[in-house]
Amino acid sequence: MTRLSVNINKIATIRNARGGNVPDVELAAVKCEEFGAEGITVHPRPDERHIRYADVRQIRPLVKTEFNIEGNPTVQSFVDLVLEVVPDQVTLVPDGHNAITSNAGWDTIANRELLTNLCKTFKAKGIRTSIFVNPDPEMVRGAAACGADRVELYTADYAEQFPAGPEKAIARYVAAAKAAREAGLGLNAGHDLSLENLAYFVHTIPWTDEVSIGHALISDALYMGLEKTIGAYLTEIRKK
C-alpha cells in the first residue's frame, strides 16, 4: 500500500511571510497525522525561506508516523541536522541554493563517490536513505550501486505531460520503477503530484512505497480544508 507523506513546507512559507507563529507548523504536523497522513516531510534549505532548522528539531519528537527530511547533502549543515535529528528517512536532493523548488534528480554515476559516502554515513545511524532521481533506469541502478535503500522519482515531467496523455506521461516512470524493483530498491515519488494525476500513477505503479506531496495538497486545503483534503488524497491513492 502506497503511503502518503505530507510536505508541510508551504505552511511554513505562509508563516514566514508575516513573522510570528501563525500558522503553527508544529501543530500542522500533528493535525496532518490526526487527519490520516502516514508521514510528514520537510525540506529545510540553507536560507530557511520556509521550514527552518529549528522547526525540524521541534517537529521531530511530535511525529508518530514517519519523518522524512529532504535536502541537499552537499551543504554540511544539512548533513549535521539529519545526523542530529535522526529521521526515519532522508531524501538526498541536488537542489541549487537559488532554486525555487527541486528541479532535477541526481546523476548517480557522476556523483557515485559522494552519494556512496553519504549513504554509508546516514545508514550507519539507522536512517533509511533515498536518492532523488529522474525517471531513468540507469540513474536508478546507479543509486542502487551507491547503497541507497530507495529512490524517489522526480515526477514533474509526469505531471506536466499527464493532461495530454497519461500513458505517454508515465511510460518512462514505469521503466524506472521496474529498474528499482529489479535492483531491490524501495520506490518513492514526488513533485507536482495532485488529485488529478495521483491515482493513475499509483495504480500503474502499485509497488510505489510512498508519495510525498506538498504544494498541491496545501493549495487544495485552502478550498477544502486540511482534513478533507488529506482524506481526498488518501482516496485517490487507494482507488482500484
Task: Determine the pLDDT at residue 104.
Answer: 80
Number of structural domains the chain divides into: 1
Mean pLDDT over 100-121 rounds to: 89
Query: 33: how many CB neighbours lie within 10 A of its CB?
Result: 19
pLDDT over 80 at 102, yes or no: no
- Name the average pLDDT for the chain: 96
Exposed, middle or buried: residue 175 (CB in 10 Å: 0-12, 13-18, 19+)?
Answer: middle
Exposed, middle or buried: residue 131 (CB in 10 Å: 0-12, 13-18, 19+)?
Answer: buried
Q: What angle do CA 112, 98, 211 make, to 5 degrees?
A: 60
* 162-199 pLDDT, tens digit each: 999 999 999 999 999 999 999 999 999 999 999 999 99
Task: Determine the pLDDT at residue 101.
Answer: 58
Q: pLDDT class for 83, splitting at 50, 70, 90?
A: very high
CA distance 35 to 4: 11
Instruction: Give percent of the chain with pLDDT exceeding 90.
Output: 93
Task: Determine the pLDDT at residue 95.
Answer: 79
More confident residue, 100 or 217: 217
The pTM of this model reads: 0.95
pLDDT over 70 at 90, yes or no: yes
| 3-state SS, residue 165 | coil
CA dihedral sign of residues 171, 187, 55, 7:
positive
C-alpha distance from residue 106 to each of 2, 75, 103, 149 (Å): 23, 15, 10, 15
Task: Determine the pLDDT at residue 100.
Answer: 52
* 66-79 pLDDT, tens digit each: 999 999 999 999 99
C-alpha distance from residue 100 to each of 4, 53, 93, 114 (Å): 23, 18, 13, 24
> What is the greatest pairwise CA distance in the chain?
48
Closest by CA position to 40, among listed 71, 81, 9, 13: 9
DSSP secondary structure, 85-141, as one string: H--SEEEE----TT-SS------TTTTHHHHHHHHHHHHTTT-EEEEEE-S-HHHHH
Task: Determine the pLDDT at residue 236.
Answer: 98
pLDDT over 60 at 62, yes or no: yes
Extract the C-alpha cell encoding 219: 493549495
CATH number of the domain bearing residue 27: 3.20.20.70
- Report whether 68 contacts 41 (CB < 8 A): yes
| 3-state SS, residue 147 | coil
Task: Determine the pLDDT at residue 96.
Answer: 63
Which residues are tagged catalytic? 43, 70, 191
CA distance 46 to 75: 8
The DSSP call for residue 176 is H
Q: pLDDT class for 239, splitting at 50, 70, 90?
A: confident
Domain carrying residue 10: 3-237
